[in-house]
Structure 1
């Protein structure tokens, strides 16, 4: 029997090596891959070690199809044999970790797929010992960026495919991953952020302490210069919002502000992920939605005590600033000042109801839309002034509730100085205390309604400020674009003017040349030619050295004279209107004869369709 097993193992080894040789040739590559797949599926459990040794014997000298197919065969073995590969799991993972150093990214992707298949099928050993330990060790010890990225992707694939990824061990691994994200030595940040997203999906970040360190780390990675890192951070934050949405209420406000600033990324893939992340975070419940008062509000000292979520009632506790500060801090320490007992409150209420004749206090009732509180105030020297201030505060709160967020409405219901003095005296002297009214009412949660209104107004103001900032940015972009268009139009207009001037110069130069040719050919007698002529266009005087003259400007005028005592005839300056152009063209068509009369150049006929000569110019030359 052992001899038969040895013979079978040798046959399998020979077949596998033959198929690997076929993979090296492009013509037989498909046939060799199909045969290897068939061998892996129908393999005898006793022949698994031989098959593994054959596919693990390949190295970097082999061609890429051979290396890739050998890694892919591990996934085929795991699907076909499952837990039968458990004794060889450590050897297989060690071989795959060596493959992570391959410079070809397709090999690393095949390694991640194979590790995921092993994690899903080979479940006999604990996940932490079988997969988490060797892959995490490779992640923290490898220095090559390719190996780092491959180890992170393999561990992420194993966590996603495992039926029980051991969230407790992943929670202990998460702080080390955060340190790697912040490290400048680790260069495979996108793959590491994908691993963090897998840990989050496996419920490895369910504690408040883990979230308080993870969220700032991901926000820092969101501002990276590498677009792949920004994309990975956005995907991790999106998964975090989907899995731990009930624990992220305290981070929602600050994170949404950062997301709004980062959503307009220059890379399209990053923009798409940013928008998806933003939508996921908008579904996180607000702080006010989670805040709910106790079912029955009474005046006992036990219910007034702080349990970390509902702070005790103290001075100025109903002021808008104090309400917002308590809502933003979900857990606040207990107040140092001890609230008075029930008897003190009962005595204060009795003295308030007895009126001014008893000389005790004033009881006022603040009627808002959704809440009802009473303020019990002990006797103070200036009662009329204090009552007037209370009425002013009540009217101001009724006029505009949105003013709760402004600075002037964050003060207490009474003077701050008097409250400070009363607080320093230990509360034995004059002071104020805001307590919930114990009357029967339909509103079971007045504090919750107030906080909802305040949070709604705060959210609306934040949205308006964001819209205003975006409008300012759009206006700046439009103004810069308009300046660019105006500059381009000005350059185009200047170019057209320059081109037009040069074309007219060429036309007039051709007129001069045609006139000289007519004189030289005899069509015009030389005696009829003018004794003193000059060109009327700047730039054409180079045609004859006898009339060489330095130009005085772009549109400077030139003078020509007749023989004898004939007065000088000055040419007009060049202008952009049609009359000036017609005068200049007509003056070049006509030449001054020696006796003072004008003659026409027969070779310089001006076409009426192409050049317009005004009637005033014709009459002037005639």
Structure 2
């Protein structure tokens, strides 16, 4: 009895029409992304004009809400560029919109959090106090978004480091304004993450000795700016920092 020969399967070669359809779809996606980027840039350019500012903000917020995940890197890059614009109004809104992107697309934006925070912290060098205030508010919004949920265990404890590392680096710069701005941002981070008993307590606990070390450093010139950090830490439920009260007293003496 003869056994039938096994049939060999061959992958069908894509037809020219199939290849053409795929290429056409890819081109359409590319063109749509180019058009979206141009629309975003146009709206950003209108932020500096008082007459078009509010409309531009609303357009950008609507665009952000409707973004697909693959468009997140593109809009972040647009906002990074806008945050270096010569006009303070554009910089302030660009920083605020970074937080809006994260609020609307928390999971997709999380992969870019290190770069986002680093960019915000670099803006603390800006001479305009309103821009530095926008940095503080953006850090607070990001902290409220990403630093709550598991009491500092696992992922959240790690994410705290993404905030703390660039802020402490900024406090190490020989620029009193930058040091003070970073301290204010850290206070806002603790305040916004610490509400409702959901603070990452173990991670915040590690801040205490580093804050004390700053006070003892002759290179840290913005010692008075530490007081809001101490105040925010003291209000975190379940946080026990040895010497925190003494830090507050020392800061008070220095003011």
Query: How would you bin the TM-score normalised by the shorter chain?
Result: 0.7 to 0.9
1:66 — aligned with what? 90
1:92 to 106, 116, 123: 116
Structure 2 residue 230 is matched with structure 1 residue 206: no
1:178 to 207, 212, 224: 212
Q: How does 1:438-587 map to 2 (within 5 A)?
A: none
2:166 to 134, 137, 149: 134
Q: How does 1:72-83 map to 2 (within 5 A)?
A: 72-83=96-107
C-alpha displacement at 1:204, in angstroms?
Answer: 7.4
1:153 — aligned with what? 184
Q: How does 1:112-131 map to 2 (within 5 A)?
A: 112-122=136-146, 125=156, 126-131=158-163
Deviations 1:159-202 (A, max 9, x none): 22226543333333212212323444323233321112222222
Alpha-carbon distance change, 2 to 121 in structure 1, aligned in 2, over 3 angstroms: farther
Alpha-carbon distance change, 83 to 30 in structure 1, aligned in 2, over 3 angstroms: same
Deviations 1:44-102 (A, max 9, x none): 22111110111101354521111111001012122222222111111111111111111
Deviations 1:11-47 (A, max 9, x none): 1210111112212223222222221222122222211
On the 8 A contact 2:180/2:222 being kept in 1, the answer is: yes
SS at match of 1:162: helix
C-alpha displacement at 1:117, in angstroms?
Answer: 1.6
Distance 1:45 1:188 in 2: 40
SS at match of 1:91: helix
1:40 — aligned with what? 64
| TM-score (norm. length: structure 2) | 0.76
1:194 — aligned with what? 228
Q: How does 1:227-376 map to 2 (within 5 A)?
A: 229=255
On the 8 A contact 1:152/1:192 being kept in 2, the answer is: yes
On the 8 A contact 1:182/1:217 being kept in 2, the answer is: no
Alpha-carbon distance change, 188 to 117 in structure 1, aligned in 2, over 3 angstroms: same
Alpha-carbon distance change, 136 to 204 in structure 1, aligned in 2, over 3 angstroms: farther
On the 8 A contact 1:56/1:70 being kept in 2, the answer is: yes
- Return the index of the structure with the highest Cα Rg: 1
Alpha-carbon distance change, 59 to 113 in structure 1, aligned in 2, over 3 angstroms: closer
On the 8 A contact 1:78/1:117 being kept in 2, the answer is: no
Equivalenced residue count is 220
SS at match of 2:82: coil
Query: Which protein has greater RCO, CA pairs closer than 8 Å, 6+ apart?
Result: 2
Distance 1:172 1:94 in 2: 21
1:144 — aligned with what? 175
SS at match of 1:103: coil
Structure whose residues are more often helix by fraction: 2
Distance 1:122 1:5 in 2: 31
On the 8 A contact 2:193/2:200 being kept in 1, the answer is: no
On the 8 A contact 1:72/1:110 being kept in 2, the answer is: yes
| TM-score (norm. length: structure 1) | 0.33
C-alpha displacement at 1:150, in angstroms?
Answer: 2.0
C-alpha displacement at 1:205, in angstroms?
Answer: 5.3
Stretches of structure 2 lacking an aligned partner (at least 5 in a row): 1-24, 148-154
Alpha-carbon distance change, 61 to 53 in structure 1, aligned in 2, over 3 angstroms: closer
Distance 1:31 1:91 in 2: 28
Distance 1:116 1:168 in 2: 19
On the 8 A contact 1:153/1:194 being kept in 2, the answer is: yes
1:13 to 13, 37, 61: 37
Alpha-carbon distance change, 6 to 190 in structure 1, aligned in 2, over 3 angstroms: farther
1:220 — aligned with what? 250
Deviations 1:84-138 (A, max 9, x none): 2111111111111111111111111111211222222235653333323333333
On the 8 A contact 1:127/1:162 being kept in 2, the answer is: no
Alpha-carbon distance change, 216 to 118 in structure 1, aligned in 2, over 3 angstroms: closer
Distance 2:54 2:203 in 1: 43
RMSD: 2.4
